[in-house]
Amino acid sequence: MPLSTDQQAEIDQARGEALTTRRAVAPALEEILYKAIPLLDHGFVRVIDYMGDDAAVVQAARVSYGRGTKKVSEDKGLINYLMRHRHTTPFEMCEIKYHVKLPIFVARQWIRHRTANVNEYSARYSILDNEFYMPKPEQLASQSANNRQGRDAVLTGKEAERVFDILKKDSELVYEHYMEMLNEGEAGTPLDPERSGLARELARMNLSLSFYTQWYWKTNLHNLMHFLSLRADAHAQYEIRVYADVMIDTMKRWTPICHDAFLEYRMGGAHLSKTGLAAIKRMIGGEKVDQKSSGLNPREWRELMNSLGIE
């Protein structure tokens, strides 16, 4: 289960308290504040805190006092302009903090985004739970033949059964050995009263990347959008993409105008190179352009045609 009874009780207590403030609040985000949104088999994402809203972005861009008197339509136009022209500083005025539970191999991808404050659960001080990620059958796929980072056909039949069996048995075995090295039994009772057990900082090294870790991850809106533009992309690994998809929804609740502009200009838009733009202009002008005459290499040409929806 993603949450223990104690964790759920702590969340219920936090959500039962209401505080008054003069700070800007996002009502839709308040609805899910502290709530754990389940992901994968044992993971979750929950929003712990946030600062600012759409108006904070506009305020920073205008360097005005208070929340201003501009209309929402004008705020939207300004945010669209900032997004379209890749201004960053106004979006850095908003911050958000998440509590995330995720498989270690996903965490190692995630930590590559070095523009956040991170505090991770420490297996030097605490014992990791016996929770490891097992992919759903539809996610158990073979290696792609033309993409070193991608997947191909889903494994089926005896081959799939064998892989599932290996994943499960290996994870169960390493956790059994982990607890044996720690000399930890049920309820903290030593397995062998005559042994002191291996130090936690050493025993953890035998665990596989499928085990779950947790962290608090705080970032600003600009860096959040950069993270989401990569990890919510259709080409991102499924196991990190499901987290990004949920975080896009939290962004919609938090800064809905910025969210819409993000989808319009970042997620739904396309970046063109100088040569690619020139090729499109030639096509619009009625010239017949192919890959060789475009000046683009084969991969660039395929990407351009895909973005234009041309077979």
The DSSP code sequence of 148-200 is TT-EEEEP-HHHHHHHHHHHHHHHHHHHHHHHHHHTB-GGG-BS-TT-----H
Rounded Cα gap, residues 309 and 7, in angstroms: 47
Q: Specify whether the CB–CB gap between 101 and 121 falls below 8 A.
A: no
Q: Spell out the domain ranges in the chain.
A: 1-131+210-269, 274-308
Nearest CA-CA partner of 34 in 8, 60, 70: 8
The edge-to-edge listing of strands for the beta sheet with 212-220 is 37-39, 43-51, 95-103, 212-220, 117-120
0.85 exceeded by pTM: yes
CATH among 3.40.190.80, 3.30.1360.170, 3.90.79.10, 3.40.50.880 for 1-131+210-269: 3.30.1360.170
Cα-to-chain-centroid distance, residue 48: 15
Burial 154-178 (b: 16+ CB within 10 A, else e): ebeeeeeeeeeeebeeebeebbeeb
pLDDT tens over the chain, length 311 residues: 678 888 888 888 888 888 888 888 999 999 999 999 999 999 999 999 999 999 999 999 988 655 555 677 889 999 999 999 999 999 999 999 999 999 999 999 999 999 999 999 999 999 999 999 999 988 988 787 776 667 778 888 999 999 999 999 999 999 999 999 999 887 778 888 888 899 999 999 999 999 999 999 999 999 999 999 999 999 899 999 999 999 999 999 999 999 999 999 999 998 899 999 999 999 999 999 999 999 999 999 999 999 999 97
Just list the catalytic residues.
231
